[in-house]
Structure 1
């Protein structure tokens, strides 16, 4: 994967994450307590779905941070090299996820 392809992939993924945020905004909203119309199990289910949506949001935030860091490395000419040991990251690893910052050895 070339640097240009990696940049394009990272920017596209960042846009996908923003779209996922817009779609899931309602699911992360506080659960309203409507005791007249909703039973206790339905409220518990809604609260569980809210917690799952919030966990997904935290994962998207972490991925956005990795993408931002990878774009900085691309701009600085450091993309493709391990942030820990400085060795080249395997091309297959970068093709799988261009936001990775470490080689397989350091990641383990």
Structure 2
């Protein structure tokens, strides 16, 4: 049987807050590292050949897409913190049942139980 949350006790709340804040910090670090990859690609064909420029444009597009995925993850984690404050953390937004603790540990931003996520 999969263990659910019921109501967060102080230790569980502290654990999940710490987990979420650590992941937010990691996203901030990754954003800082990825800033250079999102910079505008210079159009100087004397310094950079056409293929090198295409590579640079592709790398820039991938860096921007990665940044967008991190932004979505950040929003999910911040919403999870808000649900903790409201007492709704750990409950499925569709059926209202508990979300398994293991599922929340893997992704604390998850909002649906396994059954509802399956559809």
What range is the shorter-chain TM-score in?
over 0.9
Deviations 1:37-76 (A, max 9, x none): 1100000000000011001001000000100110000011
Higher relative contact order (CA 8 A, sep 6+): 2
Aligned residue for 1:68, secondary structure, equals helix
Match among 12, 27, 32 for residue 22 of structure 1: 32
Deviations 1:68-103 (A, max 9, x none): 110000011110101111100011111211111110
2:54 equivalent in structure 1:
44
Q: Which runs of 5+ in 2 are unaligned?
A: 6-11
Which 4+ residue blocks in structure 1 deviate beyond 2 angstroms?
none
Alignment of 1:1-108 (within 5 A): 2-108=12-118
2:9 equivalent in structure 1:
none
Question: TM-score when scaled to structure 2?
Answer: 0.87
Aligned residue pairs: how many?
A: 108
Deviates more, 1:89-98 or 1:63-72: 89-98
Q: Which runs of 5+ in 1 are unaligned?
A: none
RMSD: 1.1
